Amino acid sequence: MTATRGLEGVVATTSAISSIKDDVLTYRGYSIQDLTEQSTFEETVYLLWNGELPTADQLASLKKDLAENANVPEQLFDSMRNSPLEHVHPMAVLRSAISTLGIYDPDAEQMDKASNRAKAIRIQASIATIVAGFARIRKGLDPIAPNPKLTFAANFLYMLNGRIPNNLESGMFDKALILHADHELNASTFTARVCVATLSDMYSGITSAIGALKGPLHGGANEQVMRMLEEIGSIEWVDDYILNALENKKKIMGFGHRVYKNGDPRARILKSMARAISEMNGDMHLFELSQKIEKLMKEKKGLLPNTDFYSATLYDSLGIDHDLFTPVFAISRTSGWAAHILEQYNDNRLIRPRAEYNGPRLRRLLPVQQR
């Protein structure tokens, strides 16, 4: 056996959900560009879970199901109120909340197809309510009940900020949700599949995925990008900051990708979205700061931005707290995780790789008195 660090280049399974080929990302055969231009997040959820885009009736049914399952047990919010709000990270709260949510689902342990799809609906619908509710609770505010008349994207921003967003805001956020919905066999998706391959339940699978997404080398990268932008502060300081970081071998978050060699297609879409929302707000500071960093990184390292880089500017412009960037990522990616979990259940085999041993050879065990 020969080990491959990080499983780079290793094909671990087959999947019909999403594909990255020649730097083109597709969901079920549809390009991410077409989906963001002509579809909605709800349509994308249906596509990921069912393999085809919905008819008008199927879409209406999904929207109704999501709206009816958007409320969460009040005990979840009570638990948040009793948590150490002064230092707890939202991803830790989200991880615990989704796990706890399974306790209140009487069908959590049912493994038939209908029950699993119902769980996917419940988790997808409630995760936005959980994130928005915690964001308000830690500010001393009460959670806002979901509005069934709003789209999924608009409803989250409404529950978060207490006002119905305008069309540009909700449209931009909807596109961001589509862009982050799935991404082949990334770390959190692989974690979810490994978990449910043991025939564990969907709540366990999603909780496991959230744990993997929490790391700064995966979903947490966009929060780190925002931290970097704040540290730089002024466009005049970009050169000194980036060059000093490179000289000291410090990783610049939001650049490069293990799979994409000619640039992340999601980053290009997010860049145009970040520009549009910044122009609407009349504040181009962060966008121009980001542009200068992008130019410098291309010149010095030949690296292009990935999806985390401009999503930071976009989310900040939408009024989303910086430590909520990764939970927002999780709201979107839940659709992809659920799709992969359903696919794993449909053709399951326990995922159990081997490890190349590099420890001591077989040794004689001596009694404790002789050691």
- What is the mean predicted confidence (pLDDT) over 71-76? 96
Q: Which amino acid is at 31?
A: S
Q: Are 138 and 61 in a shared domain?
A: yes
Q: What is the mean pLDDT of residues 135-146?
A: 97
Active site residue 87: no
Helix (H) or strand (E) holding 171: helix 167-179
User: Structural domain tally of the chain?
Assistant: 2
Q: For residues 175 and 39, is the Cβ–Cβ distance under 8 A?
A: no
Residues 6+ apart with CB under 8 A from 94: 127, 130, 131, 134, 210, 327, 330
Given a cut of 80, whether residue 353 has pLDDT beyond it is yes
Residues 263 and 207 in one domain: no
- The reply to whether 238 and 105 lie within a common domain is no
Contact 316, 286 (CB under 8 A): yes
Question: In this structure, are 99 and 226 located in the same domain?
Answer: no
Residue owning tokens 């326990």: 350
Domain check: are 76 and 182 in the same one? yes
- One domain for residues 259 and 330: no
Regarding whether 209 and 125 lie in a shared domain, the answer is yes
Q: Are 270 and 254 within one domain?
A: yes
84 and 203 housed in the same domain: yes
Q: What is the CATH classification number for the domain harbouring 288?
A: 1.10.230.10
**DSSP track, 123-139:** HHHHHHHHHHHHHHHTT
| Catalytic position from the list 182, 264, 308, 316 | 308
pLDDT digits (tens, 9 = 90+) for 20-66: 998 899 999 999 999 999 999 999 999 999 999 999 999 999 999 99
- Structural domain boundaries, residue 158: 30-214+322-346
Marked catalytic residue, from 180, 183, 218, 257: 257
Domain boundary residue among 280, 297, 317? Answer: 317
Residue-level pLDDT at 308: 87
Contact 212, 314 (CB under 8 A): no
